[in-house]
């Protein structure tokens, strides 16, 4: 009896803490979109875990509650991917755009479909759907891993991001393997990974003073010759490899290509060019877009934006207006025969 109570306590502990943490991330002001995605992810996993904990100890749980828990599982994969995407966009000082809505629309529609096919009347449909939900979750984890790999986002700076990403893998594996272990393992895995993530988050926060001190030391003014060498290397990379056409280009990836620290590259661009990393990259993209607008007059604006390295039309239009001083359409019209 006592062991069962302890098992329930530990399985439900992660869910409760996860839901409280979701509220914390929803209300944070810095990097709001990335934090909202993390908050939504914690909420989705928390709801799923609450359902798992109660259902394990009470198999006669109300069908509606079971349905809510399974529906929440639909959002875990997309939200993991969106958190990774938004976090990397913040690192690159880029705008994440509004494409995240399209990733949440399918799970929202599928969850809404449950109104027409309630668990109480179609339990076999929902039990069969669980495997599909896990595959859907897996697909988004693969996409998120691809983003991490392309951005080379495996450093102490991204330790929280890595912790959240790999925690999602652990929870998926735990739930997908319950037929070989126990149904409560999924809930317990969330409790474990959540508290590891919390520990990681606070350790990262404690390390900030030392990191700030090191950054201050690293950001001392570079000699003009050294700065010029780095700028020449950046310019060569931009023209030879056209790195700016990569919509996921980050400061970390650019620094890796040049062979310098991120802080050094950022300092050189800021101090010697008077620009942010985002503006520096977008100037190359807009120049490429100008060439496409004139040379490929048959391309619509969406394709021009995509082929110039922009993630969204809105980002493309705002960057073009800021850098070129006019809209893409008016620029194209100037050269129309």
Q: Which of 278, 277, 299, 279 is nearest to 289 (CA)?
A: 299
Mean per-residue pLDDT over the chain, rounded: 78
Could you give the CA distance from residue 294 to residue 332 in angstroms, rounded to a whole number?
A: 6
What pLDDT was estimated at residue 81?
93
Start-end ranges of CATH 1.10.10.60 in the chain? 215-335
Question: What is the architecture, at CATH level 2, of domain 215-335?
Answer: Orthogonal Bundle (1.10)
Q: Which tokens sit at 295? A: 């040379």
What pLDDT was estimated at residue 64?
75
What pLDDT was estimated at residue 217?
40
Residue 303, number of CB atoms within 10 A of its CB: 12
Q: Which of 132, 125, 165 is nearest to 147 (CA)?
A: 165
* Number of alpha helices (DSSP H) and beta strands (DSSP E) in the chain: 15, 0
What pLDDT was estimated at residue 31?
54
Q: Which helix (H) or strand (E) holds 208?
A: helix 208-218
pLDDT tens profile 75-97: 999 999 999 888 877 765 555 56
pLDDT tens profile 257-274: 888 888 888 888 888 888
CATH 1.10.10 is right for the domain spanning 2-206? no
List Cα–Cα distances, 119 to 65, 133, 309, in angstroms: 9, 15, 44
Q: What is the mean pLDDT of residues 32-48?
A: 83
- In the chain, pLDDT over 90 holds for what percent of residues? 16
pLDDT tens profile 195-209: 566 656 555 544 444
What pLDDT was estimated at residue 9?
60
Start-end ranges of CATH 1.20.1070 in the chain? 2-206
Residue 304 confidence class, pLDDT cut points 50, 70, 90: very high
304-315 burial, b for 16+ CB within 10 Å, e for fewer? bbbebbbbbbeb
pLDDT tens profile 102-161: 899 999 998 888 888 888 888 888 888 888 999 999 999 999 998 888 776 666 667 778
What backbone phi and psi angles, to 5 degrees, belong to 267? -65, -45
What pLDDT was estimated at residue 288?
93
Q: What is the mean pLDDT of residues 315-330?
A: 90
Q: What is the mean pLDDT of residues 270-287?
A: 90
pLDDT tens profile 161-190: 888 888 888 888 887 887 776 655 655 555
Q: Is 336 helix (H, G, I), strand (E, B) or coil?
A: coil
């Amino acid at each position: 009896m006592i062991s069962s109570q302890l098992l329930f306590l530990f399985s439900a502990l992660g869910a409760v803490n996860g839901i409280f943490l979701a509220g914390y991330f929803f209300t944070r002001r810095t990097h709001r979109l990335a934090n909202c995605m993390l908050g939504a992810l914690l909420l989705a996993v928390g709801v799923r875990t609450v359902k798992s904990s109660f259902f394990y100890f009470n198999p006669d749980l109300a069908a509606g509650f079971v349905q809510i828990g399974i529906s929440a599982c639909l959002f875990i994969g997309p939200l993991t991917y969106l958190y990774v995407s938004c976090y990397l966009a913040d690192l690159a000082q880029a705008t994440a755009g509004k494409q995240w809505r399209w990733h949440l629309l399918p799970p929202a529609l599928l969850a809404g479909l449950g109104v027409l096919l309630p668990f109480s009347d179609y339990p076999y449909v929902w039990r069969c759907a669980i495997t599909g939900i896990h595959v859907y979750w897996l697909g988004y984890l693969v996409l998120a891993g691809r983003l991490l790999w392309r951005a080379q986002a495996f450093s102490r700076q991204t330790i929280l991001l890595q912790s959240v990403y790999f925690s999602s893998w652990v929870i998926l594996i735990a739930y997908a393997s319950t037929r070989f272990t126990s149904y409560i393992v999924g809930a317990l895995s969330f409790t474990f990974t959540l508290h590891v993530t919390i520990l990681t988050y606070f350790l990262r926060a404690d390390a900030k003073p030392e990191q700030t001190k090191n950054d201050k030391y690293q950001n001392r003014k570079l000699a003009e010759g050294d700065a010029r060498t780095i700028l020449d290397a950046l310019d060569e990379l931009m023209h030879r490899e056209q790195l700016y056409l990569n919509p996921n280009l980050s400061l970390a990836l650019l620094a890796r290509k040049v062979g310098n620290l991120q802080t050094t590259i950022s300092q050189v661009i800021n101090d010697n060019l008077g620009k942010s990393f985002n503006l520096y990259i977008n100037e190359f993209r807009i120049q490429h877009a100008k060439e496409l607008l004139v040379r490929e007059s048959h391309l619509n604006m969406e394709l021009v934006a995509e082929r110039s390295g922009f993630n969204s039309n809105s980002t493309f239009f705002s960057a073009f207006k800021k850098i070129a001083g006019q809209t893409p359409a008016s620029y194209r019209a100037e050269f129309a025969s």
